[in-house]
């Protein structure tokens, strides 16, 4: 515990209840080079490239991925999704969760170390920090030193660079929800809408705070996955571990010394593994929940082992089984099960999307009157009909209704034409001879069918209300 300070003076006969605040020590993470650092760089460059590049891609003359919230339509490549398609989003979340379980079971915290936005943006912020402030030692020295104009200048430059990068991040984020080219134009001419402005700055500040300041605390305190991932671990899960049998007892020595003579293990206790750790743990203390599996300690330890002419792999990716000298089983029931579930749900969603009817009809009964009598003595109900052409081509539709004999449908729009993506609303009236209705409330069905394609058709049930004293 770093500093144990009672929150308030404790009276002697109070039950022992002391609030302890552990003051967070700022981590100065040392830069690391090596095999896994290279992989991490490739993963991060790819993911950042996707994030910043995707909104600029076009598909059929419009943004390839646009979650157009103002228009309530999601464009994803050739598909258009409507609020009615919410179920696919749910399925997508299930697939994402299953994929996370799958990768956790196979490779431990692969997500945390290589792909989590928190890791990716923290890394890039640390990279900017190193470019401006210098390496770990320089940063620590500067932070201890008193404030001078130079320190102020360097710190200020770092924050400006961070904020510019964060602003670009926030702008890109909003670019997924409103067309990014128009957004860029409004941004340059400083003509943004109030809400776009708000979200750009809100997201920018969140990025700046999370990647610049909160960093590993997000993983430790905020991440639900970090808390429960251990439940998905087993003896065959890939983890990063220090080989205690080989490494201990630790101790410094000269390169020429024979460790056996000095009674030492392979660990020279240089402490580099703790300096490169982005969450500030010592991997030699065993598997800890703060470990995000980034393998920075593996890289740095390998480089030390190389310098010492010792075999590499004192800290390495391994499994509990392998550490105990037992065989590792990559294919387990759990792995195959998660894999099969991902496959099944994915196929299900894709076929459901392929088979969905690209037409929607909502019907609202006119609430102002239950029914009315026309001049001809017929009973009339009024409905508001809202239809949406969710297809990629224009269609003309025919509206019809049945449910009661001799039902008459009257509307200005019995054969509406809708362009692709168009939504329209109109009024329709159903009229029937009062002698033909048997009860107060009868079920009637509206049908809407495309004239050029009978498969593009939907039906909607509603009620027809008549006089009570029949």
Partner 1 sequence: MDQPIPLIQKVICVLWPSFLTASFATVVFFTVFDPNDFLAYSGFDISRLGAYTVGFFLFWLLTGSSCLLTLYFGKPCGIQKPPKDRD
Question: Cβ–Cβ contacts within 10 Å for residue 407, how many?
Answer: 19
Interface with partner 1, residue 18, by CB under 8 A: yes
Give the footprint of partner 1 on residues 67-86 (CB under 8 A). Answer: 69-70, 72, 83, 86
Interface with partner 1, residue 191, by CB under 8 A: no
Binding segment toward partner 1, per CB under 8 A, in 52-60, 188-196, 302-310, 413-421? 188-196
Is 17 or 256 the residue whose CB approaches partner 1 more closely?
17
Rounded to a whole number of angstroms, the minimum distance from the CB of residue 217 to partner 1 is 6
Interface with partner 1, residue 348, by CB under 8 A: no
DSSP assignment of 180-227 equals: HHHHHHHHHTT---HHHHHHHHHHHHHHHHIIIIITHHIIIII-HHHH
Interface with partner 1, residue 15, by CB under 8 A: yes
Is 13 or 455 the residue whose CB approaches partner 1 more closely?
13
Rounded to a whole number of angstroms, the minimum distance from the CB of residue 122 to partner 1 is 16
Interface with partner 1, residue 340, by CB under 8 A: no
Interface with partner 1, residue 14, by CB under 8 A: yes
CA distance from start to end of the chain:
83
DSSP assignment of 397-445 equals: EEEEEESSTT-EEEETTSS-EE-TT-EEEEEEEEEE-GGG--SSEEEEE
Interface with partner 1, residue 221, by CB under 8 A: yes
DSSP classification of residue 360: E
**Crossing angle, helix 136-144 and helix 117-133, to 10 degrees?**
70
Interface with partner 1, residue 216, by CB under 8 A: no
Interface with partner 1, residue 21, by CB under 8 A: yes
**According to CB under 8 A, which one of 20, 160, 331, 350 is a site residue for partner 1?**
20
Q: Measured between alpha carbons, how far is 93 from 88 in angstroms, rounded to an integer?
A: 9
Report yes or no: 317 and 240 within 8 Å, Cβ to Cβ.
yes
Q: How many residues contact partner 1, by CB under 8 A?
A: 27
Q: How far is CA 246 from the centre of its chain?
A: 40
Is 224 or 327 the residue whose CB approaches partner 1 more closely?
224
Rounded to a whole number of angstroms, the minimum distance from the CB of residue 20 to partner 1 is 3
- Residue environment code for 126-143, b if the CB has 16+ CB neighbours within 10 A, otherwise e: bebbbebbeebeebeeee
Residues that bind partner 1 (CB under 8 A): 13-22, 24, 69-70, 72, 83, 86, 177-178, 193-196, 198-199, 217, 221-222
């Amino acid at each position: 515990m770093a500093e144990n300070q009672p929150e308030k003076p404790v009276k002697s006969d109070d039950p022992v209840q002391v609030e302890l605040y552990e003051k967070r020590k700022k981590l100065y993470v040392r830069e690391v080079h090596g095999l896994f650092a290279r992989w991490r760089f490739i993963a991060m460059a790819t993911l950042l490239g996707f994030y910043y590049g995707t909104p600029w891609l076009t598909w059929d003359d419009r943004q390839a991925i646009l979650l157009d919230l103002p228009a309530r339509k999601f464009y994803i490549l050739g598909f258009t999704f409507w609020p009615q398609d919410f179920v696919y989003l749910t399925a997508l979340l299930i697939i994402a969760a299953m994929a996370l379980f799958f990768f956790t079971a196979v490779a431990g915290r692969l997500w945390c170390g290589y792909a989590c936005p928190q890791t990716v943006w923290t890394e890039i912020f640390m990279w900017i920090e190193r470019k401006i402030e210098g390496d770990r030692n320089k940063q620590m020295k500067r932070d201890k030193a008193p404030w001078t104009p130079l320190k102020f200048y360097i710190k200020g430059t770092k924050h400006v660079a961070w904020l510019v990068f964060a602003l670009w991040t926030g702008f890109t984020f909003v670019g997924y929800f409103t067309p990014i080219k128009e957004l860029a134009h409004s941004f340059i001419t400083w003509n943004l809408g109030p809400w776009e402005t708000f979200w750009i700055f809100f997201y920018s500040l969140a990025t700046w705070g999370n990647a610049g300041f909160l960093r590993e605390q997000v993983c430790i305190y905020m991440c639900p996955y970090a808390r429960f991932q251990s439940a998905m671990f087993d003896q065959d899960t890939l983890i990063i571990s220090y080989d205690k049998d080989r490494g201990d007892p630790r101790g410094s020595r000269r390169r020429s010394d024979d460790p056996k003579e000095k009674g030492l293990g392979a660990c020279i206790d240089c402490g580099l593994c703790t300096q490169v750790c982005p969450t500030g743990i010592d991997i030699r203390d065993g598997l800890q929940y703060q470990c995000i599996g980034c393998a920075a300690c593996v890289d740095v330890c390998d480089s030390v082992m190389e310098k010492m002419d010792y075999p590499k792999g004192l800290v390495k990716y391994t499994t509990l089984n392998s550490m105990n000298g037992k065989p590792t089983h990559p294919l387990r029931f759990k792995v195959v099960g998660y894999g099969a579930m991902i496959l099944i749900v994915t196929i299900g969603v894709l076929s459901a999307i392929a088979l969905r009817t690209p037409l929607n009809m909502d019907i609202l009964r006119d609430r102002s009157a239950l029914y009315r009598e026309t001049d001809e003595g017929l009973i009339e109900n009024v409905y508001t009909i809202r239809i949406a052409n969710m297809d990629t081509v224009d269609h003309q539709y025919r509206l019809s209704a049945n449910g009661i004999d001799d039902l008459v449908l009257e509307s200005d729009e019995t054969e509406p034409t809708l362009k692709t993506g168009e939504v329209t609303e109109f009024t329709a009236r159903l009229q029937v001879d009062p002698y033909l209705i048997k009860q107060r409330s009868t079920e009637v069905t509206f049908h809407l069918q495309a004239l050029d394609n009978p498969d593009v058709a939907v039906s909607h049930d509603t009620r027809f209300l008549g006089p009570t004293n029949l």
